[in-house]
């Protein structure tokens, strides 16, 4: 008999309530998403210019049970057809995480299923494997989201070494804060990208923080300050072209630093495969530039589909599937963790 592994994935760490079911081959690392839902809270939080944690928890609570029911129905599965439940256990907003974790535990108990605590960044990191084969190990992964910017050396499932990270703001945070300075709504990344399309990046020579430093770390707070000064000096311009030009300059500066440091990481580690994942990896300019420059650096680039770059349930279900086929078992005791260093996942 040929049994597939069906994993329900639940993600509630931030401002998307997301659910998906991954159906995987029992031995090979392949499979497909049977059904998925992402309910974004962006319209709710946009009114406040950022995420309000208490509001996020309440929205997850209201949305999650219905999304799970819809996803199960669309996949045509009953609880008994599942092999396990994967849930983001951290890092993230504690109240938001607890909604997903409590639901997963209750469902796991009732249906007699194991519950797997998944690290949110491990989900992002493995996301290119959802719809295509993962690159061979070792590979380097640049993880760029609203809360994190890090370079990770991946030597296997659960074998992650953080080799570089931001010393202040995350790349997504820099997009979000810059957008705010330009009077754009939250989240800023897609808004800056939209404005940038009609802009000339050369008008504003923004700094490329840490580009010349011979290490793998990032810093984005100085860039944010430069953007603030530029907005002040342009506030009285008669037309709005400067906003397009500044948005293009912001996108170019962030993109250039991210690519340069990723290439440096691959060179230093003698690795030819580069993954870029997390919300900022949905950025089309970043994707296009990387693809265009990859051959010149001798790199092969692995990008998740844009919908698997921003937060989703598929990456959580898939990360769990990878653990199961790698024979990694859920720990006996675990809890939601607002902070959870990625390197410690395998120590679990």
The residues of the shown chain that bind Zn ion, judged by CB under 5 A, are 145, 311
Give φ, ψ of 232 to 5 degrees. Answer: -65, -45
139, two tokens: 């590979």
**Interface region with ligand KG4, contact rule CB under 6 A, candidates 38-46, 185-193, 210-218, 227-235:** 185-193
CA angle 115, 117, 118 (to 5 degrees): 130
Helix-helix angle 171-181:241-269, to 10 degrees: 170
Contacts of 168 by beta carbon, 8 Å cutoff, 6+ apart: 219, 220, 221
Binding mask 119-158 for ligand KG4 (x = CB under 6 A): --------------------------xxx-----------
Q: How far is the CB of 304 from ligand KG4 (least distance, A)?
A: 11
- Residue 299 interface partner, choices ligand KG4, Zn ion, none, CB cut-off 5-8 Å depending on type: none
Q: How far is the CB of 309 from ligand KG4 (least distance, A)?
A: 7
C-alpha 271 chain-centroid distance: 22
Q: How far apart (Å, rounded) are the C-alpha atoms in residues 5 and 225? A: 49
Q: Which of 107, 283, 320, 323 binds ligand KG4 (CB under 6 A)?
A: 283
- Residue 193 interface partner, choices Zn ion, ligand KG4, none, CB cut-off 5-8 Å depending on type: ligand KG4
Q: For residue 304, give the nearest of 325, 290, 321 by alpha carbon.
A: 290
Q: Which of 193, 274, 316, 345 binds ligand KG4 (CB under 6 A)?
A: 193
What is the longest distance spanned by two Cα atoms in the chain? 72
- Residue 122 interface partner, choices ligand KG4, Zn ion, none, CB cut-off 5-8 Å depending on type: none
By CB under 6 A, what part of segment 325-344 binds ligand KG4? none
Three-state DSSP state, 51: coil
Task: Number of residues interacting with ligand KG4: please give it, by CB under 6 A.
Answer: 19
Q: Is 14 in the site for ligand KG4 (CB under 6 A)?
A: yes
Q: How far apart (Å, rounded) are the C-alpha atoms in residues 233 and 204? A: 11
Footprint on this chain of ligand KG4 (rule: CB under 6 A): 14, 145-147, 172, 175-176, 187-190, 193, 278-280, 282-283, 310-311
């Amino acid at each position: 008999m040929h049994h597939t592994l069906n994993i329900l994935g639940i993600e509630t760490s931030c401002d998307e309530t997301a659910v998906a079911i991954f159906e995987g081959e029992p031995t090979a690392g392949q499979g497909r998403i049977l059904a998925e839902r992402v309910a974004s809270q962006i319209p709710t939080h946009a009114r406040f210019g950022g995420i309000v944690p208490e509001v996020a928890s309440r929205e997850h609570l209201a949305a999650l049970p219905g999304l799970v029911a819809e996803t199960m129905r669309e996949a045509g599965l009953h609880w008994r057809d599942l092999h396990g439940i994967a849930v983001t256990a951290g890092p993230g907003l504690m109240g938001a995480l607890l909604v997903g974790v409590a639901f997963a535990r209750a469902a796991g108990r009732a249906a007699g299923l194991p519950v797997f605590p998944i690290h949110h960044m491990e989900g992002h990191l493995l996301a290119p494997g959802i719809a295509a084969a993962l690159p061979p190990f070792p590979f380097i992964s640049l993880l760029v989201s609203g809360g994190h910017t890090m370079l990770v050396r991946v030597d296997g499932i659960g074998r992650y070494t953080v080799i570089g990270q931001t010393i202040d703001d995350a790349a997504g945070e820099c997009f979000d804060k810059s957008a705010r300075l330009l009077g754009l709504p939250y989240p800023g990344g897609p808004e800056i990208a939209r404005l940038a399309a009609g802009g000339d990046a050369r008008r504003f020579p923004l700094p490329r923080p840490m580009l010349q430093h011979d290490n793998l770390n990032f810093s984005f707070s100085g860039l944010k300050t430069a953007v603030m000064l530029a907005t002040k000096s342009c506030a009285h311009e008669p037309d709005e072209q400067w906003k397009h030009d500044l948005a293009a300059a912001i996108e170019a500066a962030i993109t250039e630093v991210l690519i340069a440091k990723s290439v440096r990481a691959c060179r230093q580690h003698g690795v030819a495969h580069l993954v870029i994942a997390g919300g900022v990896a949905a950025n089309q300019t970043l994707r296009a530039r990387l693809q265009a420059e990859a051959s010149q650096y001798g790199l092969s680039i692995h990008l998740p589909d844009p919908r698997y770059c921003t937060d989703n349930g598929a990456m959580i279900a898939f990360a769990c599937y990878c653990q199961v086929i790698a024979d990694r078992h859920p720990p006996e005791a675990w809890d939601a963790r607002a902070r959870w260093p990625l390197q410690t996942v395998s120590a679990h």
